[in-house]
Amino acid sequence: MPHPKTWLKVCPQGLYCEPGGFFIDPTRAVDRAVITHAHSDHARPGHRAVLASAGTLALMRARLGEGPAGLTQQALGWGERLRMGEVTLWLEPAGHVLGSAQVAMEYRGSRAVVSGDYKRTPDPTCDPFVPIPCDVFVTEATFALPVFRHPPPDHEIARLLASRALFPERTHVVGCYALGKCQRLIALLRGAGWHEPIYLHGALAALCAVYEQQGVALGELRAATAAAKDQLKGAIVLAPPGAITDRWARRLAEPVVALASGWMRVRQRARSRGVELPLVISDHADWDELNATVDEVGAPEVWVTHGREEALIHCITQRGVRGRALRLVGYSDEDDEGLSEEAAA
């Protein structure tokens, strides 16, 4: 049985499956790309042929436009097997955002799984993570430090609604990344009984529409820019993180500034951004979820793509799992958790 390191290689463009002839989430334009999910650091424009879940392809078309989202696009259903070169490939949900997938590959009896970004906490806007037993598990490590333990999201939503009850005249503006976090917040609010219209910054509307087209109901959404200041009293407004404290927010009525991100665990990050109500809601696995997932897939070897690899590798090595830091460049562990300025775009 060939070890996955002989057929799944780290190249300047990213991970390359040699006997299959394709890259996974390449950071430069390539001929054949398999894309785990539509976040901008994983789904770059300009590939010739793109294979992904239907949800990811729809989000890529909305973000990048037809053409840049792949000259040819092929959708693969969950668990559907496809032969590519000498490799059998399939996708299973990663539970990160709508359409997010793990890529499973089998070559001559040897199996590798690339998780992409993932989480294990249930999310009403995407299919739940499916553990796949494998020989090599390729994992992210965005929050791979013991300090990162995400509280239950319902708990954070309850804190937001409690603040709204305490300050019923003030606008609650919540900074959130446009793809995934925004729609998850809306769904969590609906689940917690918030049935008022939710107001959106213009940058968030298009991807909400894709979610609705893909069957994720979000309730009544309105454009924040079209609303009078009086209408926004007591309203919940969602906006990109870059907008919550800038000039755009002046239209809001005495805003309570919140930000939803796994990084809100770090108080200094909240304070430095002028965030009054930090909400620790993350679309990435926390320390416990990363470790539990490594144990569950039972791989004797784990490769870490991006994030804080040292702590995770140290910890799994003590349990007899071989760890390897891939040091792939071009992935950001801050963008999709809403902290870079780029996230406002």
Q: Which two tokens stand for residue 178?
A: 């446009």
Q: Which is nearer to Zn ion, 141 or 239 (CB)?
A: 141
Structural contact between residues 22 and 38, judged by C-beta atoms closer than 8 angstroms? no
Task: Give the shortest CB-117-to-Zn ion separation in angstroms.
Answer: 4
Q: Which is nearer to Zn ion, 234 or 330 (CB)?
A: 330
Task: Give the shortest CB-177-to-Zn ion separation in angstroms.
Answer: 9
> Which residue type does 184 have?
R
Q: Which is nearer to Zn ion, 123 or 336 (CB)?
A: 336
Q: Which stretch binds Zn ion (CB under 5 A): 116-124, 187-195, 219-227, 320-328?
A: 116-124
Among 25, 135, 289, 336, binds Zn ion (CB under 5 A): 336
**65-89 as b/e, with b when 16 or more CB fall inside 10 Å?**
eeeebbeebebbeeeeeeebeebeb
Helices and strands (DSSP H and E) totals, the chain? 7, 19
User: Is the torsion defined by CA of 233, 235, 241, 243 positive or negative?
Assistant: negative
Task: Give the shortest CB-105-to-Zn ion separation in angstroms.
Answer: 19
Among 25, 92, 106, 117, binds Zn ion (CB under 5 A): 117
What whole-number distance in Å separates Cα of residue 151 and Cα of residue 94?
Answer: 20
Q: Which is nearer to Zn ion, 39 or 111 (CB)?
A: 39
**Per CB under 5 A, 337 contacts Zn ion:** no
Helices of type H across the chain: 54-64, 153-166, 181-191, 202-213, 267-272, 287-297, 309-317
Q: Which is nearer to Zn ion, 151 or 330 (CB)?
A: 330
Task: Give the shortest CB-41-to-Zn ion separation in angstroms.
Answer: 6
Task: Give the shortest CB-194-to-Zn ion separation in angstroms.
Answer: 26
What whole-number distance in Å separates Cα of residue 336 and Cα of residue 117?
Answer: 10
Q: Which stretch binds Zn ion (CB under 5 A): 52-60, 101-109, 206-214, 331-339?
A: 331-339
Structural contact between residues 170 and 234, judged by C-beta atoms closer than 8 angstroms? yes
Touching Zn ion, residues 10-39 (CB under 5 A): 39
What whole-number distance in Å separates Cα of residue 258 and Cα of residue 205?
Answer: 19
Q: Which stretch binds Zn ion (CB under 5 A): 12-20, 194-202, 232-240, 334-342?
A: 334-342
Structural contact between residues 93 and 36, judged by C-beta atoms closer than 8 angstroms? no
Q: Which is nearer to Zn ion, 106 or 117 (CB)?
A: 117
Task: Give the shortest CB-69-to-Zn ion separation in angstroms.
Answer: 17
Task: Give the shortest CB-331-to-Zn ion separation in angstroms.
Answer: 5
**Residues at the contact surface with Zn ion, assessed by CB under 5 A:** 39, 117, 336
